[in-house]
Amino acid sequence: MIKHAIFRSHDIISELLSRYKAIVIAFIIIAFCAHWIAKHQRTQQLQYTWLEAPKVDDVIMVDIGKMQTDRVYQAQYRIAQVIAVNDSQLTLKQGRYTYARKRDARRAIQLDNLMVDDYFQAAPWHIPRSQVMPYYQSGAIYAAYRPNDIYVLGGIVKQRALPHFPKHQRAALSAENSQGIGLYQRGELVAAREAFELAAKSKDQWGMYNLATMLIAAEGGEQNLQRGFELLKSASAQGNVKAKEALTSLCTLHQICE
């Protein structure tokens, strides 16, 4: 009986799809277009927000050809990155390389080219804050990205911040913790996590703190909030101020402390 019902349902669905095939295809196309338009609008709104309130390390894609109004237009896509922001102007470092296609500029980011020595020009580039949005509206600035951690479009665009390493306590830090910091800086997160694990086993309060932050952020392996909580408690008990702050933040964001 059940098998008969399943086959019958399949026949009905097949018949309906065959009869209304054109309508189904049209509906799928319309749904896809609506999704694309909505996604495009969200992206534009996000970029607008970033350009209205820029931050250091934001990546801005520019078309120099549209800024040079004294000559015949020729596409000249270039990558710039924010290095300073104040109320009156935006200061950027500008790439030395010009691309003929937008996809080539995106590809340069994805290949980590922004981390190559001398990728950017030495002289800073200043843009009045009042000019940023007109540039965006004219297409002279055609895209903006805010790094997710150290990444934009899957490529590395800035150095990863070092774990906390207070000068007055450097002599007390274990060799494993110091090794972990070096590995972390180079982006070798799995190895860094292993080094901090060894430091934590030796009761190094900074090793425990650094390992806890990696466990909480799922860096170098799976997330483990419970272990991170326990490590922060241990480091905090040794008087580690940063561990106390991180513990408060963890308890605010998660129910792990109850």
| Domains of the chain, residue spans | 2-50, 53-156, 167-253
Contact by Cβ (8 Å): 235, 163: no
Give 99 or 34, the one with higher predicted confidence: 99
Tracing tokens 């019902």 back to the chain, one arrives at 5
Residue 118 has pLDDT above 90, yes or no: no
Cα dihedral sign for 38, 110, 92, 127? Answer: negative
Residue 172 has pLDDT above 70, yes or no: no
Burial class (CB in 10 A: 0-12, 13-18, 19+), 222: exposed
Residue 224 has pLDDT above 70, yes or no: yes
Residue 237 has pLDDT above 50, yes or no: yes
Write out pLDDT tens, residues 20-31: 666 666 667 776
Q: What is the CATH number of domain 167-253?
A: 1.25.40.10
* Cα separation, 86 vs 126, whole angstroms: 11
Q: Across residues 222-241, what is the average pLDDT?
A: 89
Residue 63: name the closest of 130, 141, 132, 9 by CA. 141
Burial class (CB in 10 A: 0-12, 13-18, 19+), 219: middle
- Residue 132's pLDDT is 92
Residue 19 has pLDDT above 90, yes or no: no
3-state DSSP helix/strand/coil % of the chain, to nearest 5? 55, 15, 30
Q: What's the whole-model pTM score?
A: 0.52
Helix (H, G, I), strand (E, B) or coil at 133: helix
Write out pLDDT tens, residues 45-86: 788 888 888 988 999 999 998 888 778 888 899 999 998 888
Give 156 or 159, the one with higher predicted confidence: 156
Residue 117 confidence class, pLDDT cut points 50, 70, 90: confident
Residue 162 has pLDDT above 60, yes or no: no
Give 254 or 215, the one with higher predicted confidence: 215
Burial class (CB in 10 A: 0-12, 13-18, 19+), 9: exposed
- Residue 187's pLDDT is 80
Upper half-sphere CA count for residue 227 (Cβ side, 13 Å): 17
- Residue 142's pLDDT is 92
* Cα separation, 41 vs 31, whole angstroms: 15
Write out pLDDT tens, residues 186-221: 888 899 999 999 999 999 999 999 999 888 888 888
Residue 225 confidence class, pLDDT cut points 50, 70, 90: confident
DSSP one-letter code for 20:
T
